Amino acid sequence: MLRTPRGGTEPGAAAAEGGAMSIGTVLNALRDEFPEVTISKIRFLESEGLVEPQRTPSGYRKFSLGDVERLGHVLRMQRDHYLPLKVIREHLDAMERGEAVPLPTVGRQRDGQAVPESSDAPPTTARIGRAELLAAAGIDERELKEWESYGLVAPLEDGVYDAEVVTVAALVSELGRFGIEPRHLRLMKAAADREAGLVDQVVAPLRRHRNPQTRAHAEARTKELAGLTVRLHAALVQTALGVRLP
């Protein structure tokens, strides 16, 4: 069983005492630390081989405490160390083999220069290069150019990418398995931009404030609103389709 780098009770420990957990219970357990996590995200991590829950005869997922610990570790490595899923999987596999491997990092930068993990500098954008994005997402140059043409992914000013683009690319690929092409996803991108614009309107006065603490509060408020927006969007889609995810 993997141990997380933080002390204290693992998320979902109380819920696991009575046995295996449903994906909804896992979601609720993880949201205390990861408010942006969704059922789709957990399913995607499963599809990428980062967690392997048991299945009931009727096909429902049942997660153990070890599965929840592993999910928390994956999400924490994405959030705190800006690692693509391929690198995270390799790191976890090495840990399970009992190997003492240093935690790799991907491009946390300021003004084009790498920032050491021990730095006391304020958080900056997590970035990866074009070649790293292609390798992490498992796509080729032609596919990336097509996605860029539809605005699904876009490089930053210096030609590198926000590390979250890896997740976007993986989800675009997954949707492609069902015949949903990049051109079909322009509506989703437009909706996401509108939602982000709404959040930005709310927090903009805080970001412009002279008080550094108020500006820091703007960042926390942005994350909170982003989590709520994602949850509302998911609920609206499920309602529109008349489905309830297990």
CATH number at residue 163: 1.10.1660.10
Q: Would residue 213 be called left, alpha or beta, if left means φ above 0 and alpha means ψ between -120 and 50 degrees?
A: alpha
DSSP 121: S
Residue 27 inside a domain? The answer is yes
Q: Among 36-40, 165-169, 201-205, 242-246, whose mean pLDDT is lowest?
A: 242-246
Residue 152: which domain range?
Answer: 111-180
For the cut 60, the answer to whether the pLDDT of residue 105 exceeds it is no
Amino acid identity of residue 149, one-letter, is S
Q: Which of 180, 204, 224 is the last residue of a domain?
A: 180
How many C-beta atoms surround the C-beta of residue 199 within 10 A? 17
pLDDT higher than 80, residue 192: yes
17 with 41, same domain: the answer is yes
Same domain for 219 and 172? no
Specify if 209 maps to a domain: yes
- Highest mean pLDDT among 83-92, 100-109, 156-165 belongs to 156-165
Complete DSSP assignment for 185-202: GHHHHHHHHHHHHHHHHH
Q: What is the pLDDT of residues 198-241, one digit of tens each?
A: 988 888 888 888 787 887 788 888 888 888 888 888 889 889 99
Q: What is the pLDDT of residues 28-66, one digit of tens each?
A: 999 888 887 888 888 888 888 889 999 888 888 899 999
Rounded to two decimals, what is the model's pTM?
0.51
Half-sphere exposure of 4 (CA within 13 A, CB side): 20
* Domain count within the chain: 3
The rounded mean pLDDT for the chain is 78
8 domain residue, yes or no: no
20 and 89 fall within a common domain:
yes
Task: Note whether residue 90 is domain-resident.
Answer: yes
- 27-41, 72-86, 146-160: segment of lowest average pLDDT: 72-86
Both 76 and 136 in one domain: the answer is no
User: Is the pLDDT score of 15 beyond 60?
Assistant: no
**Has residue 176 been placed in a domain?**
yes
Domain boundary among 96, 131, 157: 96
pLDDT over 50 (residue 68):
yes
Same domain, 17 and 92: yes
Residue 11's pLDDT is 42
